Structure 1
Amino acid sequence: GQQIEAALSYTSATLSGPYHVTYENYVRNDIGGPGARGLHALNGLYESSDSWMFLSVSSNKEWETLCRVEEFLELGLRQEFFSSDLRSKNDLLLREAFEKIFAANSTAFWIRTMSSIGIPLVKNVTAAEIHGDEFNHERGLIRDKDYASSGELNSSWGSTSWAGNPVVMSETPLQDVFPPIFGGDTVDVLEELGLTTEEIDHLRETGAIPMVLPIKI
């Protein structure tokens, strides 16, 4: 059967994987640094009149749809943006044009405008805003628990929130996500590796693993 779960380690491995690749004569062209705003003009952060937001236009069809919006009509008529190749070649010019357009209105205005035509655009928010959003809690994207009076080893955590499981499956039940307790998975991992109960007990006796798990820290 399927096991659907999410973990920061999985996300980190996926996102950082390309940066671990190297070989002779390999030339890096990584996106990074304080000026990085996205992959290109059609996929990146823009400042509105009151905050920041992220735009993603991923196809010629979406570009054509965008250029039917009043504020972008002029861009669709400019020869340097007629094709995806030309837009790529003139990426900096396109970004500068977008920056002027987006700065003229609020994020709420642009979200309404883009949502009405099916163009992905979202407000850029902080982690605190994500964790405090009621919808994210209802949707299961953020989980929370008050450990202060729970009597568990991690009671010192107090009221804590963490990333939940973002996946929605039609039939397969999801695995719930909880913060790990230090050493809490030691025995399960050793058993998964094939160690018997006697061998694990021997590890405890020799001090290789603590006698009592999980460890209170």
Structure 2
Amino acid sequence: MTASTESARPLPLKGVRVLDISQVMAGPYACMLLADLGADVVKIEPPEGDQTRGAMGFKMKGPDSMGFLNMNRNKRSVTLDLKSEAGKHVLLRMAKEADILIENYRPGAMKRLGMDYETLSAINPALVYVSISGFGQSGPWSERPGFDLMAQAMSGVMSVTGYADGPPVKAGVPVADIGCALFAVYGALSAYIGAKASGRGQYVDASLFDSALAFSVWDTCEYWGTGREPTPLGTSNRMSAPYQAVKASDGYFVMGATNQKLWTKLCTLLERPDLLAEERFGSVALRLANREELIDSLERSFAQDTTEHWIDRMLAAGIPAGPILTYPQAFNSEHGKHRKMRIEIEHPNEGSVPNIGFAVKLLGTPQEVRHPPPLLGQHIDEVMAEYGIGAAELRALADAGAFGEKRTKASA
């Protein structure tokens, strides 16, 4: 295949129509992933806009936060007042031709609006309808408001984060939110592929709670396998030792000797035949059982030189090791730059805006930024025209409050 033919291939989701009726993180992030892969994502916002537009404390040139600008590229924005009959009319019209709809209203809210799966699937049987919530659409906790912090706490994630006998600690990144976004995309695309074959879409119920629990493979296996309740381990691992942050003369670095071959290499590198001969450290299971004594003994050797020294020597010996970097260091590293994990987007208000790059690279159809994060309601006229709504009908809908009060006044 020639380069010109390769570059002419469309992105894999080109032509897939997605309605993004979500705010804040999990829903918008899921929809951005679909948009990055070529889907036509229309962001349906309340007239006041996605809450995240103004959520961050630091000042931008325009009204939108850096958080919003990093979760909404490649989308177009339409404001709809779904409490108005005119707004509902427009959404029903759009849903009739959509392939995927993603919403994260409180369970039951879309049904009260008359926009639930049963209603929309009746007019579009192939529709894939994804609901994202804190605790799922059913169960005794389903009505609770759902945020990443609550999902981490109630799923068990916080019970194994931090150090033993310390205060509760959440994961430093929103694992429940981002995990739910990933599972929602997995469910949406699976259902979409099924719909292409059968002509029938389906309902996808994704929750932060379920997603956080699904990440707990090692912890849950320890509990089910031993009956012991998992506890915080700091940076160490439940299944192997040594595999954690260790202290050198100038600070900490991470390393792992997770099998007997690597353990032998490590002891040889450190010139510690005593460790190899020590019965307490003779197997992975024994090293785990005596992990604290093991790390104390290793750190006596690591204290003799710097993190850079040990990392270089261990990598040369084939032992996994690495520095503990800050975000600026990670993005500015040669590897971070090579992987293009910081990209720049030209925005009409902000100028050049940094965005986190594409986490998965498609070499046959490389992703690109086709649209900057949209201004609030920026694409109403454009999108409505695509649904056959002409100027006269658009004015009537605006006057009826379909797009919110500001648009109604603007149409006068």
Into which bin does the TM-score normalised by the smaller protein fall? 0.5 to 0.7
How far apart, CA to CA, are the structure 1 residues paired with 2:318 and 2:405? Answer: 55
CA deviations over 1:174-213 (Å, ceiling 9, x no partner): 32479845658998xx99xxx9565xx698663456988x
The residue type equivalent to 1:37 in the other structure is: T
What is aligned with 2:213? 18
Could you say what secondary structure the match of 1:39 adopts? coil
Where do residues 35-114 of structure 1 align in structure 2 (5 Å cutoff)? 36-39=234-237, 41-114=241-314
Where do residues 1-217 of structure 1 align in structure 2 (5 Å cutoff)? 11-13=178-180, 17-18=212-213, 28-31=229-232, 36-39=234-237, 41-144=241-344, 152-153=348-349, 155=350, 160-168=353-361, 171-176=363-368, 180-181=373-374, 196=387, 198=389, 206-207=401-402
- For structure 2, the 5+ residue unaligned runs are 1-10, 14-32, 38-70, 72-173, 183-207, 408-412
Greater CA drift, 83-92 or 45-54: 45-54
TM-score, length basis structure 2:
0.37
Please state how far the C-alpha of 1:102 moved relative to its aligned partner. Answer: 1.9
How far apart, CA to CA, are the structure 2 residues paired with 1:137 and 1:46? Answer: 27
How far apart, CA to CA, are the structure 2 residues paired with 1:102 and 1:210? Answer: 65
How far apart, CA to CA, are the structure 2 residues paired with 1:179 and 1:27? Answer: 50
Contact kept, 8 Å, 1:48 with 1:103, in 2: the verdict is: yes
Per the alignment, do residues 18 and 179 of structure 1 end up closer, same or farther by CA in structure 2, a change over 3 Å counting?
A: farther
- For structure 1, the 5+ residue unaligned runs are 213-217
How far apart, CA to CA, are the structure 1 residues paired with 2:372 and 2:298? Answer: 41
Please state how far the C-alpha of 1:83 moved relative to its aligned partner. Answer: 1.0
Greater CA drift, 173-182 or 101-110: 173-182
For these two proteins, the number of residue pairs brought into alignment is: 191
Please state how far the C-alpha of 1:87 moved relative to its aligned partner. Answer: 0.9
Please state how far the C-alpha of 1:124 moved relative to its aligned partner. Answer: 0.3
Could you say what secondary structure the match of 1:143 adopts? strand
CA RMSD, aligned part only?
A: 4.3
Per the alignment, do residues 197 and 74 of structure 1 end up closer, same or farther by CA in structure 2, a change over 3 Å counting?
A: farther
TM-score, length basis structure 1:
0.64
How far apart, CA to CA, are the structure 2 residues paired with 1:210 and 1:140? Answer: 42
Percent of pairs with identical residues = 21
